[in-house]
DNA sequence: ACGTGTCATGAGAACCATTCTCAGTTGAAC
DNA sequence: GTTCAACTGAGAATGGTTCTCATGACACGT
């Protein structure tokens, strides 16, 4: 019944660097983007380690993960740890965190109505943010 | 302004076979599952052709595509061509088509409120169907 | 400060769904 | 029947992600 099931175990330069770059960005970013960001900062971290660290953070609920339309996973440290959804800019990753009490209720009820158990829902909104719309 | 932008062009044994197997199943199925189903029927079709045909059907709005949690694409010929969502059994693919007028309005409005254009939404519900719950 | 055991790292290989290549095949129009 | 663009399929290529395993380095006890 723990919120954070797997403790991160041992702190390393690499894990600190990944945590820091996540703290510095507000947009959803792919593992490869984060890897490149780290390299360009001088805090070079192996790609495998970036993936491992992101996965651990995701398991612990520290970062949210979503799938871009091309299937790539995108990661972001959100402001709140509570369940929420996202409105994400397709071209720059800019993100707005969304609350949907209505949708939550709707999703749960629809599942129950049809006799399904262990209902989960995927709700993500994609669009083009105002800034990206400018630079046609 | 055409509903079906790219006409399927030329009819072949392979395309007919893919269409038929899609018509016979009510569950979301992966390309590889469909490929194997075709092989087991004797209507063998190359895997590349299965993928190409599914993509063409998806482009024409004849089949719906969604991504399983592991990233695999799943295909299904739905009863209606109009926009709708799905409640899908994680273990067998059994599907209920869902209408959500409320959710539609909500999604559109959230996007607009934050100044995003070209809003699209992904809304999928996953669960365990009554039948699959039995066979623990 | 050291020694020690355990966990973490990273380069590269492996994985795997999907797409691409291209030589051979075939639908369908005339 | 001829013709040719469209289609097919075996296998190679792609690309994000995971795995392998030899090497490196946290953290704890001394
Ligand atoms: Mn929700
Ligand atoms: Mn909708
Ligand atoms: Zn943007
Ligand atoms: Zn089921």
Q: Minimal Cα–Cα distance from A94 to chain B, Å?
A: 10
* Biggest CA pair distance of chain B: 54
Identify the nearest ligand to the CA of A26 by its number: 3
pLDDT band at A8 (very low <50, low <70, confident <90, very high): low
The torsion of the CA quartet A81, A84, A85, A87, rounded to 10 degrees, works out to -70
pLDDT band at B135 (very low <50, low <70, confident <90, very high): confident
Measured between alpha carbons, how far is A107 from A91 in angstroms, rounded to an integer? 29
pLDDT tens-digit map of B50-80: 999 999 999 999 999 999 999 999 999 999 9
- C-alpha distance from residue A13 to each of A20, A41, A46, B89, B97 (Å): 10, 13, 12, 42, 49
Residue A67 belongs to what H/E stretch?
A: strand A64-67
Distance from the CA of A105 to the center of ligand 1, in angstroms?
Answer: 9
Looking at residue B7, its pLDDT comes to: 55
Looking at residue A66, its pLDDT comes to: 96
Looking at residue A85, its pLDDT comes to: 96
User: Which of B67, B110, B115 lies nearest to residue A98, judging by beta carbons?
Assistant: B110
Per-residue pLDDT averaged across B12-30, rounded? Answer: 97
Q: Which chain A residues are Cβ-neighbours of B91 within 8 angstroms?
A: none
pLDDT band at B81 (very low <50, low <70, confident <90, very high): very high
Looking at residue B134, its pLDDT comes to: 86
pLDDT at residue B6 greater than cutoff 60? no
pLDDT at residue A102 greater than cutoff 90? no
The residue in chain A having the minimum alpha-carbon distance to the alpha carbon of residue B108 is A125
pLDDT at residue B3 greater than cutoff 60? no
pLDDT at residue B1 greater than cutoff 60? no
Q: What percent of chain A has pLDDT over 70?
A: 93
Give the nucleotide at minimum CA-to-C1' distance from A32: D16
pLDDT at residue A4 greater than cutoff 90? no
Whether the Cβ atoms of residue B62 and residue B47 lie closer than 8 Å to each other: no
| A to B CB pairs, distance under 8 Å | 96
Q: Write down the mean pLDDT value for chain B.
A: 92
């Amino acid at each position: 019944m723990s919120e954070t099931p797997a403790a991160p175990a041992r702190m390393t330069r690499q894990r600190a660097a990944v945590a820091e770059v996540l703290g510095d960005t507000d947009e959803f970013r792919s593992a490869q983007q984060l890897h490149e960001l780290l390299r360009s900062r001088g805090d070079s971290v192996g790609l495998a380690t970036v993936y491992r660290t992101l996965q651990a953070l995701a398991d612990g609920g520290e970062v949210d993960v979503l799938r871009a339309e091309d299937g790539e996973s995108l990661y972001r440290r959100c402001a709140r740890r509570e369940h929420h959804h996202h409105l994400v800019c397709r071209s720059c990753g800019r993100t707005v965190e969304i609350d949907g009490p209505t949708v939550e209720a709707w999703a749960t009820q629809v599942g129950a109505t049809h006799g399904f158990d262990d209902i989960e829902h995927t709700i993500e909104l994609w669009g083009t943010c105002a800034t990206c719309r400018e630079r046609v």
